[in-house]
Every structure is written in C-alpha cells, then in structure tokens.
Amino acid sequence: MQKRTDNFSKFAEKKKGAAIKEAYRQEKRRNKADARAAGEEMRARKKAKARGEEYVDPKKIVAPPRESTSTKSASSDKPASRAGRPVTAAKGPGRPASSAGRITATGSAKPAAGSYKAFKSDKGAGKTAKATYPGNPMDADKKEATTRESLIPLNKYVAHSGVCGRREAAELVKEGKVTVNGDKIFEPGYKVSQADKILVKGKPIFLQRNSVYILLNKPKDFLTTASDPQGRKTVLDLIKGATPERVYPVGRLDRNTTGVLLLTNDGELAQKLTHPSFEIKKIYEVTLDKPVTKKDLDSIVSGITLEDGFVAADSVGYADSKSKNVVGIEIHSGRNRIVRRIFEHLGYDVKALDRVMFANLTKKNVERSKWRFLNDKEVRLLKFMNKSFLRKNKSEASA
C-alpha cells in the first residue's frame, strides 16, 4: 500500500506539459534579456569609442545612500516610494503575489488585507506592473523588437536617402563626412533610426519614401554623375522634373558612351546591380575604325590580360554581316572603360560605343535623350535578380 502511495505522489508531483512549456518560455525570455543587455553594452562601447570617450559600465556606478523607507513612512500616511515608482499596498484576497514590478513599503500605514481599499490599490498597481518590464516580459520583447526593426546601418540609411550607392556611402562614412546627432561616425554599420539627425557633408538627409526607377537612353556629351564641379551637363539634366525624389545613376557610362542607363533612389538594388559578385549581363554595340579580324574576336572570348588583370567577354560577334567594323559584345565585368580598353589593347580605335542592354533592360521604344519609368514587372524582375540578367555560363562555372 505504501508503494502505491509513493507512486501516486511521484505522479502527482510530476510537471505537466503546460508547466514544462512555461518553464521553457521563461528560460527563453531570460536568454533574450541577456542577449539584449550584451548588445546594448556593445553599442554603448562603440558609441563611446567613436566620440573618443571612455566607456563606464552603469552597473559599476555606486548610487548615493537613500533615506530609509521606514523614516519616510513614519512622517507621512502615504506609502513610501522607491526611485520615483508607485508603491502597491498589500495584495487583495485570492490574488497571487508578484515580485516583478511591485514594491511594498515596510512600516507604512496600509489597509488591512482583504479590505476593499487594499484590493482596489492592488488592482491599480497590477496595471502599472503589467506595463513595465520586467513585470511583463512579453511587452518588453515587443517593444525591443520594434526598436530593432527601426534601426538600420548608417551606410544603408545614406544610400536609401538618395545620396549615392551603398558602397559609396560606406566610403563617405569612413572618410568622416557623415555625422549622427552632431557626432562624426566612422563605422558604416553603425545603427541609426529616422529619429536621428544625420548630415552628409553638412547637409541633412532623409529616407526616401517612394522608390523610383527610370530608364534613360543616354546621349553623348553628358556625364553620368549627380553633379559636376565644372558645370558640365549631367544625366540628371535630362530627367529634370521627372520626380520630386532624389535619384542617382546606377553604375557609370563614359561621357561619349550612349545607351541604356538606370537611375533610381533604391540604394539596395543599385548595390546588387553594380556589385561584381552578381555578374550582371551587359551588351554593347562597338563601332571601330577598321574591320575586326576573326582572330581578335577569338582572343576577346578566350581572354586577354590588361594592366589591371585578366578579362574575358562572355560572347562577341559581328553586329552587321555587311560590315566587320561593328561588333556586338556581351560582358559582365564592371571595370572602368573595360570595353574600350579591350579593343584599344588589340590595336583598334573605338569610334562609337552604345550600351544596348543592361540587366535585361533595353532602350526599345525610348529615343535618344528620352526616358521612361520602369513598370512593376520590370522592377520585380530586377529585385529578384532574374537568371536572364546574369552571365550565361555563371552556373556552369560554379558547378
């Protein structure tokens, strides 16, 4: 009989599924709180370092002695308070005690347990505790998650403000040309929010609310820059009045190179389209001073070595069967003046260079010097990096 009693006691005391889940939740919350504390400390250290200050751990700061609560309560009928927080009276009948977010004054006059006043006071204190961490960890978790989502890296903020691309923004930060709330920040990954006051070269910037994508058929004698110190014409002069948003060109075309050019304020997309790792496909039509030999076409595909390294075109061929002076070339390299330098290396003089395709965007139905907005489908394909944009043999090379 004693054995049965022991077994029953073991069964009765065994934790049920709900209790196990709750213990797991509590452990998870504690781990999150520890991780948040570590993250906050790391950010505080970085901020202090950027300002040239010495970081002081708040936990090691010794607080001045405070007057005892018993002395305060003796001179007043009101419950004593600690650090400006309201103090709750004794818990009401049948209400569980909570150690989180509740402080009870000792030695102060308070209603007897079970009375209406005690229950009302405790009920109000419960509401206060629920809205305060750690009284309600779930509320604190939600608040922390919202804060984290609103923070973005500084170089991303600059890029999305329409100043330049992500990589150029990182360089601006490293050069000390970006300030946050009056402090120079040299770390591109420094987290900021829209509430921060951010200046680039002394001018305030703000996140762009509406993404704009413009395809331009660039003519000659226009620079692919946002501005020019010498006052020369830029591609932004051609789209003046197209949008109130501040857009900038994706990549560069030489002053005398014509054809497809994308302008946008979407810094994240601009970074993808220009980053070498994505190997975005580009097709050019090249007009030369003399016919190109078959031998030189083979050399361009097999690869040649220039002053800045090896380069090979994805494909090349005659664009016009009647004239071998005009050649079409498909290439993924984004190096400066790469197409001109390839033909100059082989002894040709480039008379005209026209980009007919960039990331599957063409100048079809767009006259020289004219522009149009991209449609929704084109934007979606760009954002998801459709395989047709990339080098043909990229997948084969990686296999």
242 and 346 housed in the same domain: yes
What does the pLDDT read at residue 180? 93
Q: Are 313 and 300 a contacting pair, CB within 8 Å?
A: yes
Residue 374's Cβ-side half-sphere holds a number of Cα atoms within 13 Å equal to 24
Q: Which tokens sit at 332?
A: 């993924």
230 and 363 housed in the same domain: yes
What does the pLDDT read at residue 158? 87
Distance of CA 192 to CAs 54, 157, 204, 297, Å? 21, 8, 14, 51
132 and 156 housed in the same domain: no
**Of 107, 133, 150, the domain-final residue:** 150
Interatomic CA distance for residues 115 and 96, integer angstroms: 16
What does the pLDDT read at residue 239? 94
R_g over Cα of the chain: 34
Q: Are 125 and 88 a contacting pair, CB within 8 Å?
A: yes
Dihedral pair phi/psi, residue 174, rounded to 5°: -60, -30
For residue 170, with 0-12 CB atoms within 10 Å meaning exposed, 13-18 middle and 19 or more buried, which class applies? Answer: buried
Residue 253 lies in a domain: yes
Closest CA to 237 of 252, 249, 222: 222
Q: Are 286 and 327 a contacting pair, CB within 8 Å?
A: yes
Give per-10-residue mean pLDDT for the chain (399 aa): 51 63 82 83 82 76 59 48 45 45 44 44 44 49 54 87 79 92 91 89 80 94 87 92 88 91 88 84 93 93 90 90 90 87 93 93 93 90 70 48
369 and 277 housed in the same domain: yes
Residue 62 lies in a domain: no
265 and 165 housed in the same domain: no
Q: Which tokens sit at 188?
A: 């591109």
Q: Using N-to-C axis directions, what is the helix angle for 17-51 and 137-150, rounded to 10°?
A: 40
226 and 358 housed in the same domain: yes
Residues serving a catalytic function are 254
Residue 135 lies in a domain: yes
Residue 230 lies in a domain: yes
* DSSP H or E stretch at residue 219: none
Could you tell me the end-to-end alpha-carbon distance of the chain, in angstroms, rounded to an integer?
Answer: 72
Q: What is the CB neighbour count within 10 angstroms for residue 216?
A: 26
| Contacts (Cβ under 8 Å, ≥6 apart) of 190 | 46, 50, 153, 154, 173, 180
269 and 293 housed in the same domain: yes
144 and 156 housed in the same domain: no
257 and 376 housed in the same domain: yes
**Of 142, 176, 204, the domain-final residue:** 204
Q: Is the pTM of this model over 0.75?
A: no
Distance of CA 282 to CAs 69, 333, 341, 354, Å? 76, 8, 16, 11
CATH of the domain at 186: 3.10.290.10
Residue 63 lies in a domain: no
Residue 26 lies in a domain: no
Residue 180 lies in a domain: yes
Domain that holds residue 302: 213-398
* Number of independent structural domains in the chain: 3
Residue 366 lies in a domain: yes
224 and 131 housed in the same domain: no
CATH of the domain at 283: 3.30.2350.10
228 and 342 housed in the same domain: yes
Eight-state DSSP code of residue 221: T
At 304 the three-state DSSP class reads strand
Please give the full DSSP string across 11-49, using - where no structure is assigned. HHHSPPHHHHHHHHHHHHHHHHHHHHHHHHHHHHHHHHH
314 and 286 housed in the same domain: yes
Q: Which residues pair with 264 in a beta bridge?
A: 213, 248
